[in-house]
A and B are shown apart, each in its own frame.
Chain A
């Protein structure tokens, strides 16, 4: 795989070698069940405790506010269902709980919220975003109701890298909460943000924050949920007293140790990150300069330094991805989770892009191992691919635009 070029770090990252070394003993030496009383258990527990402190230090919270989970999807399900679908909380407020999320959240937030709505457990407001992919506080303000109990807005978007104004929202909600009987809890999914943004939960003003190991050069299958003391999250997983009785299940000790190690390595990566930004900017400038009718989706300024989401009119994204893959370059259309679905990206749609514009979009996400040579290679190969695919599509893009204007019904049998 060495000559291959990986530019899909937003989907997942390779495990850091240093982190792997730290994890190794916990597979077969300190293999005990971290809940066991004997020394095997104690050795494993030590690893878990240490990791919890590492995560807490990074987030600037108490260690007992960190709950280890299987990943961001579990964390996000836990928050939405454990607060939005929390029966005790509903009884307390004497109304159906109301939750506010944005239209560009990850599928796990959207699907969990839609389920609550469908089952009549909660009301859900889906906040729009502007053309840059950013949530506006005025929209949030308009949607707050007396029974609102939760606001969940992602820190950085997985498709466009758009960085949402979490700190501002935190301050805004803090003010609002002063005059309310029922507090509005604030959650952010920080899966994409951790590598590049300040995740101090006190500064952000969040009550809940989700993070994932495999997005930060840590292992897959592990993540953490920050739950501020006193935040009423109903338990999602029953059957054990692990994680302060908030998440049952034997500790994934090697994974948890790896997550702790990965998060403590992050702080040392500032230099690497500025290099990533330079390479990303080179990619953006090179593409926009050399490929006609190419555009960047989303804000250039409020964007993760490793993300470039392009749109190439008159070409379909999947065809670009496969053509690049045949050249040994790995990128993706938006989210890896939606890669096998045919519907256009809900994120780009929320930003006002037409379905055919969404279909012609491709995400490049850079990371630690991205080199200048790799970006040079992309800039050499990509223009030829786009040209070839445009030759194939003739002027069908114009035809698509006309059909889109005619507003075809949603049910078209594809």
Chain B
């Protein structure tokens, strides 16, 4: 049912956990679907003084796909500037994982939404 890559991220998730005092925090999901995701950001500025994702961590209550897509989105987003990170689409998450069962595609979408919510939260805090 799941690709080897999905299973590998499920067994050894990357960037799991919290960031204390995060610069941005996004929480998405719905208990009725069974998947809840939270993304923590630490934001830095690069040489061109652009904001970029210096560190990123996630917490997920959900199925194998939800855990794997959360892990993958943190991999994809880490080190990226905001404008680069906002370009990550659900298909990027899916393709990076090899494949996802059709019924689990929404998990990739949820991961993208969590990242965007965290960036949004940072922007709101920093007006």
Contact = CB atoms under 8 A, between A and B. Distances in A.
B8 to A, nearest CB: 11
Contact of B59 (A342, A344, A354, A396): A396
Nearest to B106: A414
Given A326-B11, A394-B59, A400 B64 contact: no
B113 to A, nearest CB: 10
Interface in B57-92: 59-64, 66-67
Given A392-B13, A394-B18, A394-B38, A316 B61 contact: yes
Nearest to B11: A326
Task: Please give me the 4 A-B residue pairs with the lowest Cβ-Cβ distance, nearest first.
Answer: A414-B33, A393-B61, A394-B59, A359-B34
Interface residues of A, number: 32
Contacts of A393: 36, 59-62
Nearest to B27: A399
Nearest to A322: B64
A397 B61 contact: yes
Interface stretch (A146-154, A242-250, A403-411): A403-411
A356 B29 CA distance: 12
Interface string A313-357: 011101100110010000000000000111010000000001110
B34 A342 contact: yes
A400 B36 contact: yes
Contacts of B35: 316, 414
A283 B11 CA distance: 25
Given A323-B11, A354-B31, 9 more contacts: A318-B64, A341-B103, A342-B34, A355-B34, A393-B59, A396-B38, A396-B59, A399-B27, A412-B33
Given A342-B103, A396-B38, A397-B61, A319 B10 contact: yes
B31 A403 contact: yes
Contacts of B103: 340-342
A399 to B, nearest CB: 6
Given A322-B2, A400-B36, A355 B31 contact: yes
Contacts of B66: 316
Contacts, number: 92
Interface of A: 314-316, 318-319, 322-323, 326, 340-342, 344, 354-356, 359, 391-394, 396-397, 399-401, 403-404, 408, 410, 412-414
Interface string B45-64: 00000000000000111111
A218 B23 CA distance: 60
Contact of B61 (A315, A342, A414): A315
A289 to B, nearest CB: 24
A396 B61 contact: yes
A36 B67 CA distance: 58
Given A316-B63, A322-B2, A396 B11 contact: no
Contact of B32 (A323, A391, A399, A414): A414
B32 A410 contact: yes
Nearest to B32: A355
Contacts of B30: 403, 408, 412, 414
B34 to A, nearest CB: 4
Nearest to A414: B33
A387 to B, nearest CB: 13
Contacts of B18: 394
Interface string B1-21: 010000100110100111000
